[in-house]
Amino acid sequence: TPRRFVCLRGVLARNAAMTDYKALDAGPMPMGLAPPDEEIKRTDSYRLATQFSETSAKVSQAREKIAKGDKGAVNKRDAIDLKKEIEMDEHKITVEELTARHETDLEVGLTEAEVERRLARDGLNVLTPPPTTPEWVKLLSNLFGGFSTLLWVGAILCFIAYGIQTSQDDDAPGDNLYLGIVLVLVVVITGIFSYYQEASSNKVMEGFKKMVPKEATALRGGTMRTIDATGIVIGDVIALKFGDSIPADVRIIKASGFKVDNSSLTGESEPQTRSAEFTHDNPLETRNIAFYSTNAVEGTATGIVINTGDRTVIGRIAGLVNQTQNDETPIAKEIEHFIHIITGVAVVLGVSFFIIAFALGYHWLDAVIFLIGIIVANVPEGLLATVTVALTLTAKRMATKNCLVKNLEAVETLGSTSTICSDKTGTLTQNRMTVAHVWYDTEVATCDTSVSKGSYDVKSKAFDSLFRTGVLCNRAEFDFGQEDVPVLERLCIGDASESALIKFAQPIQDITAYRARYPKVAEIPFNSTNKYQVSIHEQPADGGDNRYILVMKGAPERILDRCSTLLKDGENKPLGEELQQAYQDAYDTLGGMGERVLGFCHYYLPEKEFPRGFKFDLDNPNFPLTGLTFVGLMSLIDPPREAVPDAVQKCREAGIKVIMVTGDHPITAKAIAQKVGIIAQETREDIAKRLGKPIEQVDKSESRAIVINGGQLKDIEEKELDDILFHHDEIVFARTSPQQKLIIVEGCQRGGAVVAVTGDGVNDSPALKKADIGVAMGISGSDVSKEAADMILLDDNFATIVTGVEEGRIIFDNLKKSIAYTLTSNIPEISPFLMFILFDIPLPLGTITILFIDLGTDMVPAISLAYEKAESDIMKRKPRNPLTDNLVNERLIGIAYGQIGVMQALAGFFTYFVIHGENGFKPSELFGIRTDWDDESVHNLEDSYGQQWTFDQRKTLEYFTHTGFFVTIVVVQWADLIVCKTRRNSVFTQGMKNKHLIFGLFFETALACFFCYTPGMSTVLRTQPLLFRWWLPGLPFSLLIFVYDEIRKWIIRSRPGGWVERETYY
């Protein structure tokens, strides 16, 4: 039934029961705050609706520009118009003025001709779709964007070099051709892989489309007709009933028990009453406006359409989402920075040796070939695949930890996060109202929550009476068939507050059996005038007491006004000043903790006046409602999730600022923030209260904690907001609107922060899209918020974000390690070519063998580093500074190229000279021999011992040296892989627990053996079967690399901040 649906929404969706301080529970707030009808209701910070007479045209124009893909035309003014908290007056004016303004008739409605005219003027009642990126464009961006560009340039240069060589020599080697083809294949394969990984593209409008009503009932020409909702126009008179989706923004002119579910718009899950009365200046607070795409859940109503399509409040938020542009992700910026570095190094080396070769007398075409060869040799062909696979593996690992990543690059962005703007309900809290405290016998006792254990006494007579009243004066019940479900997780049919009471009571006594012993004979439901609920029950037949018992609950001050005694120590005590003060102290304490307080009382009806079978008149009560006995208080709160305080503490240790941004009341928001550790210091208000001073006399600089409500934020200038964000470590924004959330995110980004935002409602989607990483809720989140976000928390838990931050930091660390490992082999790959040019020696390493390393032996070990566990200080570091702490920096290049790489090159040349020496060519004989060595007409080249070598024999020996150099690189890369496991820790501390890395070591060795010893490889790939002893020359160098790096890390650990750390810690 609709009622059942509403009740379940009350349990499953955001629990606004706590946050609204409705008349049922709140009464006057403690500590001198204004009564609920004034302050407790939402402030003007929710001024979302619009002064369409002035601004709707601007909004539509901006939307049209976006729809056409004309982003440049959407100027700053358009963006500002969409963000403004602007006004409308359709809810304030009389019905007569409204009908005159929109030229409509309440009895006849609009004529078909008038409808056609208005459709032509305003367009269909639909949301303008945003521009969509064609799939082929997405594929091309993966094929040609970022790192792929460098590989394409390399491939083109290879083809150019091959063209030059073939123009000079018909029998030119095809190495450059093969290399170019391989580079193209690498780019295409990894590009397609990335495209499929990110196939869940942005479908924000699809979520909005699901919310759009399909049909509506409108008065046309004096007849009520069911029409397509897209044909609704401004001025239409429409009928609404429970179950309908509101087809446009509507001014209610007549209603009967009409309630709407505004959760898609504001996050409130409790049904909101709608009537013809104007009750608030703020359009979202007044009862006489119903909004497009919200749902009618009770009653019926008639209204006049005041806005359609893009001009509605939901349309405005959709426009804000579409107007908000995603910035480039940190990892994309890092890859671009890396490309610049590698390109710079390659071009400088290439041009330098082009000039040197030219100066040494080489033909200019040969010098061009050298130039291209050096540039291509600098391109790490396997790195694109390594980065893509590493990000994918991490994304899959995060999915197992309830963190679903929609965009691969978002994995690392979360690790770079320096500020988290977190929603409260359902993320920091359990999204489940819970009884936190009870007050009876003038004492406060705690109840079981995630952060405390119960301290109440079930044997107390006063507690027994409080328990009875809470169970009997309660219409909530557990849904059917949940006997095996833990009590706190059971679905309930009923109000969120009443559901909390029965969940508190069930573990003490089964409420169904308990209620059966006290049959209900009469009930006055809660209403906002009385602010209490009353029910009358028979007492258990086996108890010997035939009196009826009256039980009442409601706003505490209303309940207290109806009582003359208070139950204490089992006796009814007169409610004098002392007991009233005890009540007031308890009420102030519980209310000050942001908890919703309910009062309870009972009364035994005299048997003589109210015998069994007495007819109770509920319209004109014929039973006492004053002179009752006050039995106690219960306070409710949506308690923090158990893991959240630890998670917030982890964020603090990691240097991440956590800001709460909520639509909740400031007192409740502050209370939860204090419980989870977001606020640990005194606010300016707390200091003023402690010192007994007016707040104006407390200097703003004395407090690093602040709570700001939307009403204040509305009047704050941009610079003042920036100052608040910069000078306060602990911040809570309460009562915020969607526009304000967006403004807060932009303020954080202006300060240089990498911002993560959590949210679950349509109202959160603009901020989710604007953030560096948007994190939506998987359980309570709307479709729109999920589509606008980059990441979805499958368990709606803040602690999962912290897990994501750690994973993000690990992947950034591990990508650094993979790049350091991969780049190191560039030096032993490039240096043979440089020696070949400078010293005229036979080529020590061929192009094909370079491909073996980059796309063969190095690939699996590089990817295995993505599985490396975190170093011990991963969550103790401050967030990385995107401007200075780059993925690839000068220190990493220095280590990879200038230190480890040089050692590897020396190892390769040592093996090269050993193999030549064993075959008769002493090192001194090799210098200057290249021209004769490569001359096919020379068949009598003498070695150091006078032996003559034919061209084919020389080339066979050359291929042996290529293979030896290649194998030596594999051997020294063993040590490089092990030292790259850590950036600071000793390998002995980190351990060798990474099974994938151990497999990588065996894999690269096995692959090298396959290339060397498989029959036919000498013909196809020009590798030769090496003697075992030619594997050994690289071993001392491998040991040297390991010992050298362990000493370097030991110095970094023992002298933090010292010269070695500054120059070599990458």
Angle between helices 738-750 and 76-83 (to 10 degrees): 130
Task: Average the pLDDT over 595-611 and give the result.
Answer: 94
Asked whether 415 and 812 are in contact (CB, 8 A), the reply is yes
The values of phi and psi at residue 579, to 5°, are -70, -35
Catalogue the E-assigned strands of 164-270.
215-220, 223-228, 237-241, 249-261
- Rounded to an integer, what distance in angstroms lies between the CA atom of residue 635 and that of residue 591? 8
Q: What percent of the chain has pLDDT over 70?
A: 87
What pLDDT is recorded for position 67?
A: 41
- Whether residue 307 contacts residue 125, with contact meaning beta carbons closer than 8 Å, is answered with no
DSSP structure class, residue 305: E
**Closest residue by Cα to residue 52 from 73, 93, 81:** 81
Beta-carbon neighbour count of residue 988 at 10 Å?
9
The four Cα atoms 949, 954, 957, 958 give a dihedral, to 10 degrees, of 150
Distance of alpha carbon 644 from alpha carbon 236, whole angstroms: 49
Is 401 a residue whose pLDDT tops 90? no
Residue 54 in this model has a pLDDT that exceeds 90:
no
Residue 326: its pLDDT value, please? 59
In terms of pLDDT, which residue wins out, 200 or 698?
A: 698
Q: What is the pLDDT of residue 799?
A: 85
Catalytic residue among 20, 25, 261, 423: 423
The pLDDT, as a whole number, for residue 455 is 80
Compute φ and ψ for 254, nearest 5 degrees. -155, 135
CA distance 270 to 260: 9
Q: Which of 259, 255, 233 is nearest to 244 (CA)?
A: 259
pLDDT(85) > 80: no
With contact defined as beta carbons under 8 Å apart, do 797 and 779 qualify? no
Task: Answer for the pair 184, 192: CB distance below 8 angstroms, yes or no.
Answer: no
pLDDT reading at 329 higher than 80: no
Q: Lowest-confidence range among 28-42, 446-460, 524-538, 1016-1030?
A: 28-42
> At 705, which helix (H) or strand (E)?
strand 705-709
Give how far Cα 187 sits from Cα of 141, 184, 199, 483, 594, Å.
12, 5, 18, 57, 57
Which residues lie closer than 8 Å to 497 by C-beta, 6 or more apart?
Answer: 17, 24, 25, 433, 596, 598, 636
Q: What is the pLDDT of residues 728-777, one digit of tens each?
A: 999 999 888 778 888 999 999 999 899 999 887 777 888 888 898 999 88
Alpha-carbon distance of 733 to 721, in angstroms, equals: 11
pLDDT of residue 37: 36
Mean pLDDT of 385-414: 80
CA dist 692 and 653 (Å) reads: 34
Residue 42: pLDDT band by 50, 70, 90 thresholds?
very low
Point out the least confidently predicted range of 178-192, 567-581, 809-823.
Answer: 178-192
User: For residue 65, what pLDDT band results from cuts at 50, 70 and 90?
Assistant: very low
φ/ψ of 486, rounded to 5, equals -55, 145
Q: Pairing state of beta strands 295-307 and 596-605? A: unpaired
Helix (H, G, I), strand (E, B) or coil at 602: strand
For 96-110, 787-801, 909-923, 927-941, which range has the lowest pLDDT when averaged over its residues? 787-801
Helices 383-399 and 147-168: angle between axes, nearest 10 degrees: 150
- Which pLDDT value is given to residue 130? 63
pLDDT class of 128 with cuts at 50, 70, 90: confident
- CA dihedral of residues 424, 427, 432, 435 (deg, nearest 10): -60
Average pLDDT, the chain: 83
Q: What integer pLDDT is reported at residue 14 of this predicted model? A: 32
CA distances, 1048 to each of 389, 873, 874, 973 (Å) = 30, 18, 19, 18
| Residue 151 pLDDT greater than 50, yes or no | yes
279-290 pLDDT, tens digit per residue, is 888 787 788 999
CB 662 within 8 A of CB 716: no
> Model confidence over 705-736: pLDDT tens digits?
999 988 888 888 999 999 999 999 999 998 88
| Active site annotation includes 764 | no
CA 620 – CA 22 distance, rounded (Å) = 26
Confidence (pLDDT) at 467 = 96
* Lowest mean per-residue pLDDT among 51-65, 479-493, 495-509: 51-65
Phi–psi pair at 342, nearest 5 degrees: -60, -40
The Cα–Cα gap between 188 and 171 comes to: 29
Q: Hey, is 738 helix, strand or coil?
A: helix
Q: Residue 414: which of 841, 707, 810, 832 has the closest Cα?
A: 810
Give 199's pLDDT tier (boundaries 50, 70, 90): low
Question: Which of 60-64, 372-376, 594-598, 848-852 is modeled with the greatest confidence?
Answer: 594-598
- Please tell me which residue, 217 or 54, carries the higher pLDDT value: 217
Q: Does residue 291 contact residue 265 with C-beta atoms inside 8 Å?
A: yes
- For residue 40, give the nearest of 707, 741, 635, 668 by alpha carbon: 668
Kindly give, in sequence order, each residue whose CB lies less than 8 Å from that of residue 1033, ignoring residues fewer than 6 positions away: 907, 910, 911, 914, 968
What are the CA-CA distances from residue 1013 to residues 919, 966, 1017, 1026 (Å)? 20, 13, 7, 8
Token pair of 20, please? 């609204």
Residue type (1 letter), 503: K
**What's residue 1034's pLDDT?**
96
Q: Average of pLDDT values for 452-456? A: 70
**Which residue's structure tokens are 């630890």?**
646
262 has a pLDDT exceeding 90: no
Residues 659-670: what's their mean pLDDT?
A: 86
pTM, rounded to two decimals: 0.70
577 burial (CB, 10 Å; 0-12 / 13-18 / 19+) is exposed
pLDDT score for 737: 78
In this predicted structure, what is the pLDDT of residue 471? 96
